[in-house]
Amino acid sequence: MALTTRATRALGAVAAVTLAGAALAACGTEHMMRSAGATASAPSVRAAAPASPSALSSAPTAPSAPSAPSSAPTAPSGTPGAARTPAGTARHDAAPGTGRRPAPGHRTASPRGTAAHGTAVQAPARGTVVTARSIQHGVEAPGRSVALTFDDGPDPVWTPKVLDVLARHHAKATFCEIGPNARAHPDLVRRITAAGHRLCDHSVHHDEAQSRKSEEYNRHEILDAQSEISRAAGSGDTSLWYYRAPGGDFSPSIRAIAAGHGLRPLGWTVDSDDWRRPGVDAILATVNSELKPGAIVLMHDGGGDRSQTVRALETLLDRLDTAGYTYTFPQR
């Protein structure tokens, strides 16, 4: 899959395959590296606007919304810069650890019930609207903004370092936490929320084959983690707004469970691939090649040694600051 993407770039990057909702990237855990050989059928891929070779230095331009397939329902509108996601972007039955770089043009059949719901999703007050079930790939702030997301923490070593970097740059981010990690480190969860960041449920066990499991199993994965994170954050916290399935392994049922409990299914549009620890320069190159205004960037503050992530983040934020980006959150 990676070769496909690189080949695409080498050919001139006609279309940056923003792996949006393809949401195939696995998150963080090392076992995926061992199972990455399989090639499951690729999920749908949203072909994005032509890539800018230097997204961080180009003039501000709002990304154009890609054309949705004719069969796809229209995603909620109203936020410039929000990437639109056709229905059926959820990986329904792919093997874990596969398909990080889906081949452009491949599309699996849209599972039943994946229609995006047209309910308001732009920063509503909690409890006032029905949370949409479609996978969110848009951000709240229009224009030259980016939403940073960090998965698999909180981690007592790396999360504080990520928070320090963010603070130096006055950057806000969203932290997709593993329930037991939050329970083990409530101090970190509260430090995150106290700094104005948001929280995202990232399940209990980080099972990247969640979509193959029973509804009961998934309810526990999603809701038990929600409880653990909420408890760690403390009563009255209102920063837990999203659910990101491990490995992006969403199914209609998983999305329904999450949305039914106020958690917007959350995807990404830029996969830093930091979990592979390819080196700081490689992480930065990957982000730079895919990033554009309105991006949701996937990185990791847990799941292993994140020293490369921390160093890459420092440079990335320097560049984003210089390029005039602001930091926002994914739309709910």
**Contact footprint for Zn ion (CB under 5 A):** 27-28, 151-152, 246
Q: How far is the CB of 299 from Zn ion (least distance, A)?
A: 11
DSSP, residue by residue, 91-140: --SPPTT--SSPPTT--PPPPTT-PPP-S--SSPPTTSSPPP-SPB--BS
Q: How far is the CB of 112 from Zn ion (least distance, A)?
A: 26
Q: How far is the CB of 176 from Zn ion (least distance, A)?
A: 7
State the catalytic residue, choosing from 151, 155, 274, 301.
151
Identify whether 151 is a catalytic site residue. yes
Instruction: Give the residue with the Cβ less far from Zn ion, 89 or 110.
Output: 89
In whole angstroms, give the CA distance from residue 201 to residue 226.
Answer: 6
* 8 Å CB contact between 177 and 245: no
Of all residues in this chain, which one has the CB nearest to Zn ion in the complex?
27
* 8 Å CB contact between 92 and 40: no
Instruction: Give the residue with the Cβ less far from Zn ion, 152 or 290.
Output: 152
In whole angstroms, give the CA distance from residue 155 to residue 162.
Answer: 10
Instruction: Give the residue with the Cβ less far from Zn ion, 52 or 149.
Output: 149
In whole angstroms, give the CA distance from residue 71 to residue 296.
Answer: 25
CA-derived radius of gyration, the chain = 18
Instruction: Give the residue with the Cβ less far from Zn ion, 141 or 270.
Output: 270
State the catalytic residue, choosing from 207, 274, 300, 301.
300
SS3 of residue 241 by DSSP: strand
* 8 Å CB contact between 42 and 22: yes
Q: How far is the CB of 297 from Zn ion (least distance, A)?
A: 14
Q: What one-letter code names the amino acid at 68?
A: A
Q: How far is the CB of 61 from Zn ion (least distance, A)?
A: 31
Identify whether 273 is a catalytic site residue. no
| Tokens matching residue 326 | 């602001």
Instruction: Give the residue with the Cβ less far from Zn ion, 152 or 271.
Output: 152
Q: How far is the CB of 132 from Zn ion (least distance, A)?
A: 22
Instruction: Give the residue with the Cβ less far from Zn ion, 33 or 167.
Output: 33
Q: How far is the CB of 246 from Zn ion (least distance, A)?
A: 5
Instruction: Give the residue with the Cβ less far from Zn ion, 27 or 223.
Output: 27
In whole angstroms, give the CA distance from residue 128 to residue 77.
Answer: 18
Burial class (CB in 10 A: 0-12, 13-18, 19+), 246: buried
In whole angstroms, give the CA distance from residue 294 to residue 201.
Answer: 22
Own/partner contacts of 65-69, CB < 8 Å, gap of 24 or more, are: 69/44, 69/107
DSSP, residue by residue, 12-42: T-SS-EE-TTT-----S-THHHHSTT--PPP
Cis peptide before 154 (omega within 30 of 0): yes
Residues labelled as active-site residues? 151, 300
